[in-house]
Structure 1
Amino acid sequence: MLTIQNLYKKFGSLVAVNNLSLAVAPGETVVIMGPSGCGKSTTIRTINRLIEPDSGSIVFDGRDITQLREDELRKVRKRIGYVFQHFNLINRLSAIENVMLGLVMGGQAKEEAYDKALAAMTKVGMEQLQDHKPEQLSGGQQQRVGIARALAFEPELMLWDEPTASLDPMLVREVLVVMEELAKYRAATMLVVTHEIAFALHVADRIVLMEKGTVVESGIPSQVFVNPASHVGRQYKELIEYQLNTSARTLAGKCIA
């Protein structure tokens, strides 16, 4: 499905991605994690060339994306859904019009685009709010519209760039539930950049840990978080243990009270 080889990207003197290699199998849900600034978002943005890599190859379904002409790249992007950190909705359009826009601009008839947009809105539980403007929706609802916008193209690969990063903590769960449902039914291969440990534990087929622009560990969640081989993995294990111990102490205190 997707094979990245020796990916390299530099911004000025900063090496953001350093000879990174990664393969994702069809139907697989891969979660990329690591400390802020480790190159996670840069990596995922190079896949559809929102950021142009300096070198390396990104092979999707047998074609190297880095070598595509602009017209070829536009066609491939229709097969790759992308959910951003920020919602990027057009305020003057309704929710369903935001979802339809890319389809109509791509040449689909409005009636067909509406049907596909409504089906995508239904998948994320937003069909009842299809006529609402973005300002009438909560942050979580706006992000679900953003997800529907990506799903409307019926992509083979879904890229998620920290989709809960801009949300109030109270709204994160509603977006994660949608992501979990999509992962469960494997409607598309998923590559997810996130800091949400619980989501990664519950949904990921494989965890990829990054540090300083490269992959330092990769494996199933129970391996990476229980018996880590990398420094970053050990940090995540300590964080999980701390959270579990804190929850246990809080529960014990409530029981005593």
Structure 2
Amino acid sequence: MLTINNLHKRFGKVTAVADVSLDVKKGETVVLMGPSGCGKSTTIRTVNRLVEPDGGRIFFAGRDITAIAPEEMRAVRKRIGFVFQQFNLISRLTAEENVMLGLVMDGMPRELAGEKAMAALAKVGLESCRGQKPGELSGGQQQRVGIARALAFEPELMLWDEPTASLDPILVREVLVVMEELAKYNANTMVVVTHELPFALHVADRIVLMDKGRVVEEGVPDKVFVTPASEVGQRYKELIEYQMNTSALTLAGKRVA
């Protein structure tokens, strides 16, 4: 489905991505994790060329997308859904109108675009909010509209760039539940950049750890987080153990009380 070979990207004197290679199979959920600034977001943004790579090759569905013209790339982007950190919704439009806008601009008849928009809103549990504008929705609901907007094109690949980063912690779960359902029950092919450890542990088929622009470790969650081979993996293992110990102590304290 997706193959990245020896990807490089620099911003001025800063190397953001250095010799990254990655394979993603159809139906697989791959989670990219690592310290802030390690190159995760830059890596997935090169996949649909929101960021132009400086070197390397990217193959999507067998086609080298680093070698195609911009007008061809616009057609490829319709097959690759992208969910951003920010919601990027148009405030004067309803949820349904936000979802169908791209379809209509692409030349789809409004009636058909409306049907696809409603089907996408149903997938994220927001069909009842079709007539509400972004200002009338919670942050979690707005992000779910953003997800529906990406799903409306029925993409073959979904890219997620820290989709819960802009949300209040109490709203994070509703977005993660949607992502989990898409991964487990709809067999979407997904590459997810996130710091959400529970999601990665529960949903990822494979974890890819990055540090300083490079892939330092990859494997199934049980391997990466239980017997890590990298310093970054070891730090995640310690974080998981700390969280588990804290939860156990909290539960014990409640029993004593």
Normalization by structure 2: what TM-score?
0.99
The correspondence of residues 121-200 of structure 1 with structure 2, limited to 5 A, is 121-200=121-200
Equivalent residue of 2:90, what SS?
coil
* Superposed displacement of residue 187, structure 1: 3.7
Moved over 4 A (4+): none
Identify the range of structure 1 (20-29 vs 65-74) with the bigger mean alpha-carbon deviation. Answer: 65-74
Partner of 1:32: 32
Residue by residue over 1:210-257, the C-alpha shift from the partner in whole angstroms, topping out at 9 and shown as x without a partner, is: 001011000000000000000000000000000000111111111111
Q: Do structure 1's residue 84 and structure 2's residue 93 form an aligned pair?
A: no
* Superposed displacement of residue 66, structure 1: 1.0
Equivalent residue of 1:216, what SS?
strand
Equivalent residue of 2:89, what SS?
coil
The correspondence of residues 97-136 of structure 1 with structure 2, limited to 5 A, is 97-136=97-136
Equivalent residue of 1:6, what SS?
strand
Question: Which whole-Å CA distance do the structure 2 matches of 1:239 and 1:5 have between them?
Answer: 31
The correspondence of residues 161-240 of structure 1 with structure 2, limited to 5 A, is 161-240=161-240
Q: Is contact 2:39-2:214 (8 Å) kept?
A: yes
CA RMSD across the alignment: 0.6
Gaps of 5+ in 1: none
Question: Which whole-Å CA distance do the structure 2 matches of 1:192 and 1:133 have between them?
Answer: 27
Normalization by structure 1: what TM-score?
0.99
* Superposed displacement of residue 89, structure 1: 0.2
* Superposed displacement of residue 65, structure 1: 1.1
Question: Which whole-Å CA distance do the structure 2 matches of 1:61 and 1:250 have between them?
Answer: 48
* Superposed displacement of residue 77, structure 1: 0.3
Partner of 1:5: 5
Partner of 2:60: 60
| Count of residue pairs brought into register by the alignment | 257
Question: Which whole-Å CA distance do the structure 2 matches of 1:98 and 1:113 have between them?
Answer: 11
Residue by residue over 1:120-159, the C-alpha shift from the partner in whole angstroms, topping out at 9 and shown as x without a partner, is: 0000000000110000000000000000000000000000
Partner of 2:18: 18
Question: Which whole-Å CA distance do the structure 2 matches of 1:183 and 1:109 have between them?
Answer: 30
